[in-house]
Structure 1
Amino acid sequence: MDQVDQIEQTEPYEPGRPSAAQWAAIRRTMTSGRGALTRRSMLRATGAGGLALGGLAGLGGCGIPPAKREGAGPASTDHSAEEKRVVFSNWTEYMDVSDDEKHYPTLEAFTKRTGITVKYTADINDNVEFFGKIQPQLAARQDTGRDLICVTDWLAARIIRLGWAQKLDPSHLPHAFANLSEPFRSPDWDPGRAYTYPWTGIPTVIAYNARATGGRTVDSVSQLLDDPKLKGRVAFLSEMRDTVGMTLLDLGKDPAAFTDDDFDAALARIQKAVDRRQIRRFTGNDYTADLDKGDIAACVAWAGDIVQLQNDNPDIKFAIPRAGYMLSSDNLLVPAEARHKANAEQLIDHYYRPPIAARLAAYINYVCPVDGVRAELSRIDKSMADNTLILPDAAMAAASHAFRSLSAKEETAYEQKFAQLIGA
């Protein structure tokens, strides 16, 4: 039985799953050489950041309010019926692969079930770079050559605001509509998920190397900024919304409802730590190697990286501050003028079937935005199903916070201030 057959797409789902040994082999491949720790070497550290999720309102059945848009052209002609294909652009190392790295099992299962072929390209390494690649076609109301893209929330928000995304048809998304997890249902930049569905959630937490801290727990931003025993061995992220968001929380401010003065106070607090050389550096996800070695004792970190590090290093720990943590997402979106919108919607819906969502989560190790995957993921790897960085429990979900949407003017001003702070 090949791996496509193992992911049967008829209902009800019956297992024919890879063995625990096969999944262990896949994870070993992921964490050696070019694996998940280098999955996105410029992971969201693009100077533009990622908007966190906003609001917990449920999806409405009809009349979902559209996001604010600056401009919109006529509806695109959909060629899905006569052209059974879809072109999908995603981040590198952001799709499950077979143990020989020659196949994408869940994509092949989609083709087997629907007859729709997928041209899959892992050509997104950086949000800003990718937007620069597709912006001219979007602005000219031309087909970008892609039917589905995966971008971080701030960029999804911008594309929607500019009128360059196609509104999704809920009738083509029954599994997505039913299974989308509550914290992801209605971000303020796309109310009711009219234009996007999340591919994965990205928690920002505190990580530390217990060997480097002498066994001490590090579980607050205050410790990172002020503890003299950590001086020179602390890292913060070069992603503004994560670093500032975590600091706002530590100051008792809500990242979903802060003022200019609150933002400046957070920057001033970080600046004091920079001036005292408490902070070693601001990083993208290249902090992982230093944290693994203990050169960085503690840091603000992305959860998926920590899950991967823990596979090989039991000294790597994470903590959710009492003040809470930041949560953002990468999102699936159909660009304006895409030729195969209905096919793309079917592909989105495919990844909201729990057996498929579990396999994706088992590979990428970020928060799964799909309800009902625990039993499926447990059959693959029980430790993953029990890991709150992949499947948050109620307490962790309640501790997540949103970084509010920014106006174009705010985004420019805040990013300039933050870039000056970190020396970018």
Structure 2
Amino acid sequence: MKRLMTATAMVLASATLAAAEGELQLYNWGNYTSQEMLDKFEKETGIKVTVTDYDSNDVALAKVEAGGSGFDLVVPSANYVPIWVEKGLIVPLDDSKLPNKGNIAPEWKDVPWDPGRAYTIPWQWGSTGIAVNTKVYGGDINTSAVFLDVPPELVGKINVVPEMNDIVSLATMYVGGKPCSEDPEVMKKARDVLLAAKPNWISMDYGATERLSNGDWAASVNWNGSTMRVRLATNGDVKYGYPKEGYPLFMDSVALLKDAQHVEEAYKFLDFIMQPENAALISNFARYANGISGSEKFMDPEMTAAPEVMIPEEFKAAGTFLPTCTGKALDYITAIWTELQK
């Protein structure tokens, strides 16, 4: 009888240990994941999610490509998804394990960077523009001249986020070109305007949400959701500009890594964040729109009218989703970025 009880206790202990070992490794952009959402997921599933941050698409790609990252899920931007697919770093999703996939909004179900959503599901989407403390600078903020022809009030007070394609594309559009241009004259102009502007920047850093909020910086090339958070923290002093010369749109999506160690946990997480109320938790934290139908009714009321989230009609035409640059275009962009980092 004692032996039977011991065996039973061992089975129960093993079951408890297995539950405790349920975990998931998420590799995501910094300050971009709702802790409230993670806590809810853990409470419902028993799976503990560990989030590791990165500050650019290139950093994330290089880290995973080097091998042995230990991550299960990653959140690349739209123009990088084809690169992850081509390199074999992410795998097609098994839709039979994703009953909530039908919640993806119609406009995001079949996208150029991932036809039929074979590899990814939406996380959040938005734009890259200019965040400016209007107490410091009262001029036009709807132009890339704010960081490329820096006004005197912002010299030494403006940051540029370290996202290669966003920054080079903003400069390319500013000089009259299009993203992924292979025109050497256009790209030389983009290079020259960036190098001329750099001495007037204070930094090239990811932490705009915190450092604009506390007044360390007066302006930054920044993403819209981050800027909304800053506006709320500064009582409206920081506003978001949409460069009239052209600005990038993006969608970040979640993908399953080929060498993921916690595949079943990953599928549970992917399905969980496609529930409208859970997608809303992600948006309410980071302040970006998501791609899940029905999530709007669970969002904070200010999200539905925020000028950083709902693009004003007059600026819609200037926004464009960046293509995946290849060939000469990628060579030009990489060379410009390398020189800019010196």
Query: Into which bin does the TM-score normalised by the smaller protein fall?
Result: 0.7 to 0.9
- Cα distance between partner residues in 1 of 2:186 and 2:26: 37
| C-alpha displacement of 1:242 | 1.4
- Cα distance between partner residues in 2 of 1:371 and 1:308: 23
The answer on 1:318 being equivalent to 2:240 is yes
| C-alpha displacement of 1:241 | 1.2
Equivalent position to 2:250, from 308, 325, 328: 328
The answer on 1:96 being equivalent to 2:34 is yes
Equivalent position to 1:122, from 42, 48, 51: 51
Task: Output the amino acid matched with 2:247.
Answer: Y
Q: Deviations over 1:177-205 (max 9, x none)?
A: 442462684143x3332212232224211
Q: What is the DSSP-based 3-state SS (H/G/I as helix, E as strand, rest coil) of the residue aligned with 2:35? A: coil
- Cα distance between partner residues in 2 of 1:310 and 1:206: 13
* Other-structure match for 2:294: 372
Equivalent position to 2:116, from 155, 176, 192: 192
* Other-structure match for 1:159: 84
Q: Structure 1 stretch 122-131 or stretch 355-364: which is displaced more?
A: 122-131
The answer on 1:222 being equivalent to 2:145 is yes
| C-alpha displacement of 1:420 | 1.0
The residue correspondences of 1:391-402 to structure 2 (distance < 5 A) are 392=311, 399-402=318-321
Q: Deviations over 1:194-244 (max 9, x none)?
A: 21223222421111111101x334211134433644461443333221112
Q: What is the DSSP-based 3-state SS (H/G/I as helix, E as strand, rest coil) of the residue aligned with 1:197? A: strand
Q: What is the DSSP-based 3-state SS (H/G/I as helix, E as strand, rest coil) of the residue aligned with 1:164? A: coil
- Cα distance between partner residues in 2 of 1:293 and 1:118: 35
CA contact (8 A) 1:206 1:319 kept: yes
| C-alpha displacement of 1:317 | 0.8
Q: Deviations over 1:34-77 (max 9, x none)?
A: xxxxxxxxxxxxxxxxxxxxxxxxxxxxxxxxxxxxxxxxxxxx
TM-score by length of 2: 0.77
* CA distance 1:191–1:397, shift in 2 (3 Å): farther
- Cα distance between partner residues in 2 of 1:289 and 1:105: 23
Task: Output the amino acid matched with 1:211.
Answer: K
- Cα distance between partner residues in 2 of 1:254 and 1:345: 38
The residue correspondences of 1:185-334 to structure 2 (distance < 5 A) are 185-188=110-113, 190-213=114-137, 215-226=138-149, 228-230=151-153, 232=155, 233-255=157-179, 259-274=183-198, 277=199, 279-288=200-209, 291-292=212-213, 296-313=217-234, 314-334=236-256
- Cα distance between partner residues in 2 of 1:185 and 1:241: 23
Q: Deviations over 1:379-424 (max 9, x none)?
A: xx2112322434557776654312221237754552232221342x
State percent identity of aligned pairs. Answer: 23
* CA distance 1:261–1:395, shift in 2 (3 Å): same
* Other-structure match for 1:406: 325
Larger helix fraction of residues: 2
The answer on 1:148 being equivalent to 2:73 is yes
Q: Structure 1 stretch 229-238 or stretch 287-296: which is displaced more?
A: 287-296
* Other-structure match for 2:7: none
* Other-structure match for 1:179: 104
TM-score by length of 1: 0.64
Q: Deviations over 1:303-345 (max 9, x none)?
A: 2321221122121111222334212343311122546546533
* Other-structure match for 1:417: 336
Please list every run of 5 or more consecutive structure 2 residues that lacks an aligned counterpart in the other structure: 1-17
Q: What is the DSSP-based 3-state SS (H/G/I as helix, E as strand, rest coil) of the residue aligned with 2:130? A: strand
- Cα distance between partner residues in 1 of 2:151 and 2:66: 50
| C-alpha displacement of 1:292 | 4.4
CA contact (8 A) 1:282 1:422 kept: no
| C-alpha displacement of 1:358 | 0.7
The answer on 1:87 being equivalent to 2:21 is no
Of structures 1 and 2, the larger Rg is shown by: 2
The answer on 1:382 being equivalent to 2:301 is yes
* CA distance 1:246–1:174, shift in 2 (3 Å): farther
CA contact (8 A) 2:180 2:325 kept: no
Please list every run of 5 or more consecutive structure 1 residues that lacks an aligned counterpart in the other structure: 1-81, 112-116, 139-143
- Cα distance between partner residues in 2 of 1:211 and 1:304: 20
- Cα distance between partner residues in 2 of 1:251 and 1:229: 21
